[in-house]
Structure 1
């Protein structure tokens, strides 16, 4: 499995191609450096460098790449297990369609969910600076910075899936990328952006708000939400303690659909989320009631991946409720 991370290694922070890479799990600071790596097995990682990494993406026998941004309180092997489950579902649905590539940002490794939550918010914000450079690297690669031995452009479509606090990482990454590299605005880089159980305020995607750039960078933005997501209830309680009073996007969907772009779609998962992820109802976008069997949320998401349209049967539709 290919992956990118800004977590510190126990080795030198200087990139060395083809060295063993070991995560420093006791350090949840967001590094300025990023490492392009391959997972070869359990706790077995190799740093391959950006040139080889991008060439591997280009040569992969798939039509599309999906960047996977995980939520808070996830250590690397937790992330890899989730991505392997998602990749298995994709391969079963249509072999050769999608390659999932996780961006592993530094979550905390101590006890206490509330303490983890606030530590991870800081790490999510600081990770934006390193991941903005990753997006710029992708853009340069797609728009002509090709390798001398293989100058043909890469035609694979790029998508992004952000889960939980990964939405905060995505939001801040695009904001930092525009501020420091793209004063004219972000490019249309993503075919689909899937915001699942998003731990950001529900006005975020509106014009003038912090997540507006997500809609500029994406052809389609699909928000999956569930009002009884217990993890987001804990998030709301934590934010209220710090005088941040707003519903989460992953709880209610966009606050007002008339105030977000026409490329934003809302999908209510309230009828299935706790059945798929009992009791939290937070990670409901992969398997259904049986591990390894796709749930209705995954099937909806994968249809959008294949077709490039959220509701291909009705081009005017912007909202739906998912049921078995």
Structure 2
């Protein structure tokens, strides 16, 4: 099990600490840095600890930034892997690897060491998260997707982008701009991953691990994904993702149209795309009427036209689900966090991640060829 943070937040050193940390500031840097979370000595904080003013940064969850690689590319990763197999002699070890080299190496080693499902979930968070909020969200995601035996996920890559922690109205537009910048940075990470695949598996002595990688974006995190897709050139896209789950997406309902030239690239990237929507989503309703010039939101209204992609893209209506896991005012009123608050939505997501045929996923009614409603 491994959880990594991929962040383009500013790097700072907190007072009294000897190591670099990610900042809570609403400021992005051009490149993503990578950190690995440490759960070995993790203890669930008490309610009293959570109220303390020092319940920030590593007091929430310990993590360590990976060193930057001394050399770009993945030839050194290949040397280490072949050396470990006794195929090639090399003075290099895993300790010589940094950044994406170290992360991809560790994931490949872990995922290829088992015959059981050991999937990776890439998660892009939404609006109104400072870094401390992100650390708390990582703990929630671990409980739902790693600790739960009903889930095939064993590893999480948490995409941390510098959203605002403020609830003032203008912070939405700050977050929207930041999501665009972060999506552009995320493109580079995608190209690093495809280069890793080419460099490693061009060698016949190394076999793919046959595990799956999934991508999940919630709320304004879909805007980060859209920005990445804008920048991706079709001829460079490889189908390296199994399932893409778009949760309560705060993007235009027209994103799959060719004129948008963004989400219409997803079928080139993934085997299946699922749009989870809630027609009573209060958060997206406010987004539509106060911030997006009355443009219907994908996660509330569904897509305008996906006829070309109906074999790959599914719409899952979560309007009638029960929020039986989290009962705070935020979750009861917002109808925006079903993946955390509803056991029905979670059960549907797990079946999706396992790759069960969309027509065979339980507790769904079929409204049309590719439109479903989750029922009790």
- TM-score bracket, shorter-length normalisation: 0.7 to 0.9
Q: Does 1:5 align with 2:17?
A: no
Change (3 A) 1:274 1:205: farther
Which residues of structure 1 form unaligned runs of 5+? 12-18, 289-294
Q: Which residue is 1:204 aligned to?
A: 255
Q: How many residues align?
A: 302
Q: Which residue is 2:276 aligned to?
A: 224
Q: Which residue is 1:254 aligned to?
A: 303
- The within-5 A match list for 1:115-264 is 115-145=170-200, 151-178=206-233, 184-209=235-260, 210-240=262-292, 244-258=293-307, 260-264=309-313
Q: Which residue is 1:81 aligned to?
A: 136
Q: Which residue is 1:47 aligned to?
A: 65
- In angstroms, what is the RMSD of aligned CA positions? 2.8
Offset of residue 123 of structure 1: 0.3
Provide the rounded CA distance (Å) in 2 between the counterparts of 1:64 and 1:56.
13
Change (3 A) 1:59 1:202: same
Contact 2:310 2:370 in 1 (8 A): no
Contact 1:174 1:186 in 2 (8 A): no
Match of 2:27 among 26, 29, 49: 29
3-state SS, counterpart of residue 71 of structure 1: coil
Q: Which residue is 2:106 aligned to?
A: 56
Contact 1:8 1:23 in 2 (8 A): yes
Match of 2:346 among 298, 304, 323: 298
Contact 1:205 1:254 in 2 (8 A): yes
Offset of residue 273 of structure 1: 6.3
Offset of residue 313 of structure 1: 6.0
Worse-matched range after superposition: 47-56 or 155-164: 47-56
Provide the rounded CA distance (Å) in 1 between the counterparts of 2:19 and 2:344.
39
Offset of residue 37 of structure 1: 0.7
Contact 1:73 1:107 in 2 (8 A): yes
Contact 2:351 2:361 in 1 (8 A): no
Match of 2:335 among 269, 276, 281: 281
Offset of residue 265 of structure 1: 0.3
| 1:166-218 Cα shifts (integer Å, max 9, x gaps) | 1111111122132xxxx525221211000000001111113332321123211
Contact 1:215 1:263 in 2 (8 A): yes
TM score, norm. by length of structure 1: 0.84
Offset of residue 38 of structure 1: 1.2
Q: Which residue is 1:318 aligned to?
A: 370
| 1:112-153 Cα shifts (integer Å, max 9, x gaps) | 1x21110000000011221111111111222333699x9444
Worse-matched range after superposition: 272-281 or 297-306: 272-281
Provide the rounded CA distance (Å) in 2 between the counterparts of 1:158 and 1:304.
12
Which residues of structure 2 form unaligned runs of 5+? 39-57, 67-98, 112-116
3-state SS, counterpart of residue 34 of structure 1: strand
TM score, norm. by length of structure 2: 0.73
| 1:256-304 Cα shifts (integer Å, max 9, x gaps) | 343544211001111126666211111111243xxxxxx1111111101
